[in-house]
Amino acid sequence: MRQHLGLTALVVRDYDEALAYYVGKLGFELREDTQLDGDKRWVVVAPPGSVESAILLAKAANARQEEAIGNQSGGRVLLFLVTDDFARDHTNFLKQGVKFVTLPRREAYGTVAVFEDLYGNRWDLIGRR
């Protein structure tokens, strides 16, 4: 048997502002942007080179979902972005204005720094050993 995680839903305030951040600042690829009914869209982005996993940008549809924007993990790191070149991506993200909340540090698994996306969700940028 073979399984994998395909999409992870990330609740956002607005599709276009989320796309400006994930595609414009982080350099993710826009994989799909399909209009559904009303103002609902199916918007999928993924890091460059990602084969199986991607993020579904899901616009909050009610007050409860709006409350979750930026805090889907209760303040913990929510997503882990693994890179083949930590220094390159860390430098590029800083140039794009990405907000890092920790300095890079070495761990047993590699180099890591925590950043926040435009909504405050925490991410690990990880360069594996």
pLDDT tens for 81-121 read: 999 999 999 999 999 999 999 999 999 999 999 999 999 99
Q: Is the pLDDT of residue 4 over 90?
A: no
Beta carbons within 8 Å of 20's beta carbon, 6+ residues apart: none
Q: Are strands 7-12 and 105-107 parallel, antiparallel or unpaired?
A: unpaired
**What pLDDT sits at residue 66?**
97
Q: Could you tell me which CATH number the domain at 1-69 has?
A: 3.10.180.10
Task: Go through 108-121 and write b for each residue having 16 or more CB atoms within 10 A of its CB, e for each that does not.
Answer: eeebbbbbebbbeb
**Domain over 71-129 is classified CATH 3.40.710.10:** no
Residues of the chain with CATH 3.10.180.10: 1-69, 71-129
**What pLDDT sits at residue 1?**
92
Write out the two tokens for 119: 């909504």
pLDDT tens for 34-90 read: 999 989 999 999 999 999 999 999 999 999 999 999 999 999 999 999 999 999 999
DSSP state of 117: -
Q: How far apart are the first and last CA of the chain?
A: 28
CA dihedral 38, 25, 116, 28 (to 10 degrees): 70
